[in-house]
């Protein structure tokens, strides 16, 4: 393992930074650290990135007093990793008491734009997402394997309904505008719509 | 649209503001209908304290201190749920002051060979200047930032590429979509939730494009 105090890397990329050289700022009371060493960096990068970049040779190290070394506290990791082998996106076409039908297309295959009809049980969906199973609702269907912290690979199929709109306000307004234009073009009358025409 | 075949994916939503960490315990998520009781009972709670709360489930990691709240996930099928839970959490806590928001998409991408990884390093950071000083200069980390953002929001977009510590040979790529919710005066979390709603999808598409582009080099 190459440490970050070694000379320039022989390769284009360096290998893994030594874990013992990281400051465990994420694992300690930040107020205490701040009081002792000054203000912590303020950014919205992820913890992973902070840990990767806050190695011993970065400016963060200069804040530590001489002779003092902070070790990362061993942390348990319950987060599962999922390797997606195939991903479909689809929309619900029909809902019954126990099941729902949907049209899906394979988004892992960039050439594939063919829809397939599939049927799922409602219980294939997480209980907190089941009230989203309505005609027209879009969802993702991932098939792959979940790797637990013990490195066991568990084959799995996961259906997820976006719990937050994937469409931006601008996209929704644009879609409404197109729909209104089409309705009027077809002579089907006006629809109630107070949205503003997109720029 | 082609999608990334990265072996490890990560998503984290980071909010900077003033938080009350003790609220963010699994029981609270159950009481608000954001998590089932069975999930909460299964949570690995590291600490619940007035200064910090940290717990994990297989699909979400929650780490909240007084100034920073992080919701993370390393399994792509659960990204939508994590984004949804984050949005709904701060819908409920809409008066929480939030100053900045980050949406981080991360990927560890396997290289076909160590040579391909080096080629990516040379493509991202040509070495002709460094060859004057070093016999074999190597890229450690590269960050490219677009500031101001291209969507007229305050903040920046930053892409970082490093050697992957988890997949070898491989590259680690992170995209930080950083939003300044409001400069100076603090605002409630509702503004941050609006940003998540409007920018989660575009940020995911952008990240996918970057990951696929890097994969093509590897």
Q: What domains are there in chain A, each with its CATH number?
A: 19-63 (no CATH), 81-160 (2.40.50), 168-199 (no CATH)
What total number of domains does chain B contain?
1
CB A88 within 8 A of CB A105: yes
Q: How far is A41 from chain B (nearest CA, A)?
A: 12
Is residue B40 a part of any domain in this protein?
no
Which of 164-183 (A) contact B at CB < 8 A?
164-170
Q: What is the dihedral of CA A78, A126, B200, A49, to 10 degrees?
A: 10
Q: How far is A94 from chain B (nearest CA, A)?
A: 22
Range of the domain at B169: 8-19+67-217
Q: Closest-CA residue in chain A for B142?
A: A13
Whether A6 contacts chain B with CB within 8 A: no
Is residue B77 a part of any domain in this protein?
yes
Q: What is the mean pLDDT of chain A?
A: 68
| Pairwise CB contact (< 8 Å): B1 & A167 | no
Is residue B30 a part of any domain in this protein?
no
Is residue B174 a part of any domain in this protein?
yes
Q: What is the mean pLDDT of chain B?
A: 91
Q: Is the pLDDT of residue B174 over 70?
A: yes
Q: Is the dihedral of CA A174, A176, A180, A186 positive or negative?
A: positive
Is residue B123 a part of any domain in this protein?
yes
Q: How far is B22 from chain A (nearest CA, A)?
A: 14
Between residues B190 and A6, the one the model is more confident about: B190
For residues B26-49, one letter each, b for 16 or more C-beta atoms within 10 angstroms of the residue's C-beta and e for the rest, the string is bebbbeeebbeeebbeebbebebe
CA distance A192 to A186: 16
Q: Is the pLDDT of residue B40 over 90?
A: yes
CA–centroid distance for A91 within its chain: 20
Is residue B24 a part of any domain in this protein?
no
Chain A residues inside the 8 Å CB shell of B81: 126, 129, 160, 163
pLDDT in tens, A160-183: 998 776 555 666 778 888 888 888
Q: Is the pLDDT of residue A156 over 60?
A: yes
Question: In the prediction, which pLDDT does A3 show?
Answer: 34
Is residue B135 a part of any domain in this protein?
yes
Between residues B204 and A1, the one the model is more confident about: B204
Which of A4, A5, A26, A79 is the best residue to mutate to test the B interface, defined by the most B CB atoms within 10 Å of its own CB? A79
pLDDT in tens, B128-144: 999 999 999 989 899 99
Q: Is the dihedral of CA B164, A56, A80, B51 positive or negative?
A: negative
Q: Which of A77-86, B23-32, B51-60 has the lowest mean pLDDT?
A: A77-86
Q: Is the pLDDT of residue B146 over 90?
A: yes
Which of A2, A7, A12 is the best residue to mutate to test the B interface, defined by the most B CB atoms within 10 Å of its own CB? A12
Q: Closest-CA residue in chain A for B49?
A: A29
Is residue B56 a part of any domain in this protein?
no
Interface predicted TM-score of the whole assembly (ipTM), two decimals: 0.82
Q: Is the pLDDT of residue A41 over 60?
A: no
The top-scoring range by mean pLDDT among A69-83, A98-112, B154-168 is B154-168
| Pairwise CB contact (< 8 Å): A17 & B3 | no
For residue A8, give both structure tokens: 């320039």
Burial environment of residue A88 by CB neighbours within 10 A (0 to 12, 13 to 18, 19 or more): buried
């Amino acid at each position: 393992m190459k440490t970050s105090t070694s000379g320039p890397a022989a390769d284009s990329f360096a290998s893994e930074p030594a874990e013992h050289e990281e400051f465990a700022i994420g694992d300690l009371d930040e107020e205490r650290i701040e009081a002792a060493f000054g203000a912590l960096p303020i950014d919205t990068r992820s913890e992973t990135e902070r840990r990767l970049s806050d190695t011993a040779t970065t400016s963060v190290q200069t804040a530590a007093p001489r002779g003092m070394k902070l070790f990362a506290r061993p942390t348990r990791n319950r987060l599962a990793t999922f390797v997606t082998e195939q991903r479909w996106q689809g929309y619900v076409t029909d809902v019954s008491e126990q099941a729902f039908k949907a049209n899906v297309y394979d988004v892992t295959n960039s050439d594939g734009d063919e829809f397939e009809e599939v049927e799922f049980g409602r219980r294939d969906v997480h209980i907190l997402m089941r009230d989203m199973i309505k005609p027209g609702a879009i969802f993702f269907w991932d098939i792959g394997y979940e790797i637990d912290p013990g490195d066991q690979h568990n084959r799995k199929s996961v259906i997820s309904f976006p719990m937050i709109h994937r469409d931006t306000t601008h996209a929704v307004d644009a879609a409404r505008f197109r729909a209104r234009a089409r309705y009027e073009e077809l002579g089907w009358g006006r629809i109630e719509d107070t949205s503003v025409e997109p720029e | 649209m082609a999608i990334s075949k990265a072996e490890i994916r990560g998503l984290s939503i980071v909010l900077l503001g003033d938080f009350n960490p003790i609220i963010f315990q699994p029981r609270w998520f159950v009481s608000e209908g954001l998590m089932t009781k069975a999930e909460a009972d299964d949570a690995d709670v590291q600490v619940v304290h007035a200064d910090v709360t940290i717990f994990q489930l297989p699909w979400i990691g929650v780490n909240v201190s007084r100034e920073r709240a992080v919701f993370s996930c390393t399994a792509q099928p659960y990204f939508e749920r994590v984004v949804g839970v984050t949005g709904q959490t701060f819908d409920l806590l809409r008066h929480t002051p939030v100053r900045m928001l980050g949406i981080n998409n991360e990927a560890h991408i396997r290289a076909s060979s160590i040579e391909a990884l080096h080629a990516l390093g040379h493509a991202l950071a040509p070495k002709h200047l460094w060859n004057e000083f070093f016999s074999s200069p190597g890229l450690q980390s590269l960050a490219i930032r677009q500031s101001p953002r291209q969507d007229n929001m305050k903040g920046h977009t930053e892409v970082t590429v490093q050697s992957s510590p988890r997949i070898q040979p491989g590259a680690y790529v992170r995209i930080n979509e950083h939003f300044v919710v409001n400069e100076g005066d603090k605002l409630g979390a509702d503004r941050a939730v609006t940003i998540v709603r409007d920018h989660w999808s575009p940020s995911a598409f952008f990240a996918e494009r970057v990951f696929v582009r890097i994969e093509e080099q590897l």
